[in-house]
Amino acid sequence: MDSQKKALLNYCIALGDDSLTLGHRLSEWCRNGPFLEEDLALTNVSLDFIGRARMLYSYAAEVEDQGRGEDDIAYLRDCREYRNFLINELPNGDFAFTMARQLMIDAFDVGFYKGLTQSADEMLAAIAAKAIKESRYHLRRSEDWIKRLGDGTDESHERTQKAFDQLWGYAAEMFEMASDEQQLVDAGIAVDRSALKAEWSSTMHSVLKEATLDIPAQDWAIGGGREGIHTEHLGYLLAELQYLQRTYPGQQW
Amino acid sequence: MNQHSLPLFEVFIRSKRGLDHRHVGSLHAEDPAQALDYARDVYLRRSEGVSVWVVRSSDITASQESDMASFCDPMDDKPYRHATHFKLPKEVDNM
């Protein structure tokens, strides 16, 4: 496999991993949502991300052409082979934490997938065209919730501020290019993520300001997801996600 | 959040152009904007519509069952008010 093809494979898997881990986290809200309507809405968003992961993994399998399918990629890799940003794998915390994370990711996704619709790779451009519509809706939801929570009661304000304080340093890696990603940018296939930060910051500033929240200090950053270095939480997530395929290999339903 | 404190909204969906908005159900939400978003998640999951209305249930003034006799019965003996004798062209199928 030539180096560009290998880079494309890694790229699709990394994007799929972002979607699958977050989709799985959001699915944990199913029947635990604060009320019925929000429970359904969160589950819809979860399904959007899982659907996105399936498209990206299927395409990865096609690029790789070694007989692996989407299920093999999702279920038969361990933590160190997962390439998602750490922010996606963090436990849900309370509702404020879930929505604060969602805002940070949705604001990123809208810029990212808008860029990816221009990809020279037709399949990635098509996946992005579907994803951008979903992400615009996700962002509308998370913006709305952060404004309600931040500018809500004392308790909701405090919890939301705490969530952003705990999450802020996880944003850095969203704008750091992986080692083999630049060649895809040069080929017009991938999006230059480092260029997305200004727009992301401006969205975050305006939403947090309206929500009467403070932008957390930029004094720590954690990364490593794209290199397969994860938090302790991913192992537990994968244990649940992969249990069935690990216990009954090849099981289908 | 205490669900019991959330107001109830009625949801109306226009399933395609040319048809009226039809009542499809109700949901709880903080305000009309949020109700509209939830209507999308609760009632439009299979892209059933082209337009959605939400209205606070408390803003609807409804008739009582006991009113209906005086509302409707007097019309029963006025068949000339019913446009049943006209043949409709097939194109007007949503009348």
C-beta atoms of A37 and B33 within 8 A: no
Among the listed ranges A9-18, A143-152, A234-243, B59-68, which one has the minimum average pLDDT value? B59-68
Mutate to test the interface with B, among A38, A45, A99 (most CBs of B within 10 A): A38
Task: Tell me what the mean pLDDT of segment A105-114 comes to.
Answer: 98
Q: How far apart are CA A101 and CA A87, in angstroms?
A: 7
**Residue B24 in contact with residue B38, Cβ under 8 Å?**
no
pLDDT band at B81 (very low <50, low <70, confident <90, very high): confident
**Cα nearest neighbour of A148 on chain B:** B30
> DSSP labels for A94-144?
SHHHHHHHHHHHHHHHHHHHHHHTT-SSHHHHHHHHHHHHHHHHHHHHHHH
Task: Tell me what the mean pLDDT of segment B4-31 comes to.
Answer: 91
C-beta atoms of A35 and B28 within 8 A: yes
Q: How far apart are CA A152 and CA A34, in angstroms?
A: 16
- CATH, range A3-247: 1.20.1260.10
**Cα nearest neighbour of B27 on chain A:** A37
Please report the pLDDT score of residue B61 as a whole number.
Answer: 93
Report the DSSP beta bridge partners of residue A192: none
pLDDT at B95 over 60: no
- Chain A residues in contact with B28 by the CB 8 A cut-off are 35-37
Secondary structure (3-state) at A77: coil
Q: How far apart are CA A30 and CA A41, in angstroms?
A: 10
Closest CA of chain B from A248, distance in Å: 33
C-beta atoms of B42 and A144 within 8 A: no
**Cα nearest neighbour of A42 on chain B:** B41
- Chain A residues in contact with B37 by the CB 8 A cut-off are 41, 140-141, 144
Closest CA of chain B from A36, distance in Å: 8
pLDDT at A125 over 90: yes
Among the listed ranges A169-173, B10-14, B67-71, which one has the minimum average pLDDT value? B67-71
- Chain B residues in contact with A44 by the CB 8 A cut-off are 41, 45
Task: Tell me what the mean pLDDT of segment A151-161 comes to.
Answer: 97
Extents of the domains making up chain A: 3-247
pLDDT digits (tens, 9 = 90+) for A16-52: 999 999 999 999 999 999 999 999 999 999 999 999 9
Nearest by CB to B28, from A37, A41, A140: name it: A37
Extents of the domains making up chain B: 3-60
Residue the block writes with tokens 């390439």: A83
**How many interchain CB pairs under 8 A, A with B?**
32
C-beta atoms of B41 and A44 within 8 A: yes
C-beta atoms of B3 and A140 within 8 A: no
- CATH, range B3-60: 3.10.20.520
Please report the pLDDT score of residue B66 as a whole number.
Answer: 84
- Chain B residues in contact with A35 by the CB 8 A cut-off are 1, 3, 6, 28
Write down the pTM of the prediction: 0.89
pLDDT at B2 over 70: no
pLDDT at A229 over 70: yes
- CA-nearest of A16, A25, A93 to A241 is A25
pLDDT band at B13 (very low <50, low <70, confident <90, very high): very high
**Phi and psi angles of residue A108, each rounded to the nearest 5 degrees, phi first:** -65, -50
Q: Is the ipTM of this complex over 0.85?
A: no
Mutate to test the interface with A, among B3, B34, B41 (most CBs of A within 10 A): B41
- CA-nearest of B76, B7, B2, B37 to A45 is B37
C-beta atoms of A38 and B45 within 8 A: no
Cα-Cα-Cα-Cα dihedral of A198, A203, A207, A212, to 10°?
10
Mutate to test the interface with B, among A26, A32, A37 (most CBs of B within 10 A): A37
